């Protein structure tokens, strides 16, 4: 991996969604921005809140999850950022709370944010940082599950995972995926 030039946190805009499981991507970008002393500010031409730390761009789309690709593509095209220089941070139902997986490319697992990004970039070959939120057990309950806050023990596990992501960040920033994965891919 070459060092990422764009980190995208996925979530839904608005105070009513701020603490929901679907917004873990926003939570990571907020923490990373704080660590890097970058300020996120609304940028209408990029359909989101944008910050910069050196050569690194941070983005939280202000579109709803299923339209995330509009923001990602707008910023990536404007700054000539290639898909393999983009890291998308998102919630993952297939991982337990606190689990983390990082990979490049692949399917979208039914995640509407990833699906829209793939469509707008015309490729699945961007990097993904998948943060586990668990699964409600029933497919019919997924929509309401992701739009509710985690239970206390789930939140603690997710917070610990976010902390691990920040510990791994210097390795990711240097493009050392193997070293970052050794930090990220521990048992939750």
Name all domains of the chain by residue range, CATH numbers in brackets.
6-184 (3.40.50.1470)
pLDDT at 1 over 80: no
Segments of the chain assigned E as strands:
6-9, 41-43, 48-53, 56-61, 86-92, 100-104, 127-132
pLDDT of residue 188: 52
pLDDT tens column, 4-30: 999 999 999 999 999 999 999 999 999
pLDDT tens column, 108-146: 888 999 999 999 999 999 999 999 999 999 989 998 999
Query: How far is the first Cα of the chain from the last one, in angstroms, to the nearest whole number?
Result: 25
pLDDT at 44 over 60: yes
135 among known catalytic residues: no
Q: Say how far apart CA 183 and CA 154 lie, in whole Å.
A: 20
Q: Say how far apart CA 155 and CA 124 lie, in whole Å.
A: 29
- Do 60 and 29 contact (CB within 8 A), yes or no? yes
Mean pLDDT of all residues in 171-183? 92
pLDDT tens column, 149-161: 999 999 999 999 9
CA distances from 50 to 40, 117, 136, 143, 168 (A): 5, 17, 32, 27, 22
The strand pairing partners of 126, in sequence order, are none
Q: Which two tokens stand for residue 152?
A: 């206390």
Share of the chain above pLDDT 90, in %: 90
pLDDT of residue 2: 78
91-123 in b/e form (b: 16+ CB < 10 A) is bbbebebbbbebeeeeebeebbbbbbbbebbee
Q: Give the global pTM.
A: 0.95
Catalytic member of 22, 90, 111, 120:
22
- Do 7 and 65 contact (CB within 8 A), yes or no? no
Count CB neighbours of 84 within 10 A: 16
Mean pLDDT of all residues in 49-71? 96
Q: Say how far apart CA 118 and CA 39 lie, in whole Å.
A: 27
User: Among candidates 133, 100, 179, 169, which has minimal Cα distance to 23?
Assistant: 133
């Amino acid at each position: 991996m070459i060092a990422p030039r764009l980190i995208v946190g996925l979530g839904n805009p608005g105070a009513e969604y701020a603490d929901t499981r679907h917004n873990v991507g926003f939570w990571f970008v907020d923490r990373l921005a704080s660590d890097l002393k970058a300020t996120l500010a609304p940028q209408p031409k990029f359909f989101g809140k944008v910050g910069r730390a050196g050569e690194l761009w941070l983005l939280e789309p202000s579109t709803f999850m299923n339209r995330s690709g509009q923001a990602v593509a707008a910023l990536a095209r404007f700054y000539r950022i290639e898909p393999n220089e983009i890291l998308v941070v998102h919630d993952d139902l297939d991982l337990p709370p606190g689990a983390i997986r990082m990979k490049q490319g692949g399917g979208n697992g039914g995640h509407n944010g990833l699906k829209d990004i793939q469509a707008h970039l015309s490729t699945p070959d961007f990097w993904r940082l998948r943060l586990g939120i668990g699964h409600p057990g029933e497919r019919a309950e997924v929509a309401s599950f992701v739009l509710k806050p985690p239970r206390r023990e789930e939140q603690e596990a997710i917070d610990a995972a976010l902390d691990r992501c920040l510990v791994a960040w210097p390795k990711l920033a240097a493009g050392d995926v193997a070293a970052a994965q050794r930090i990220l891919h521990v048992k939750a």
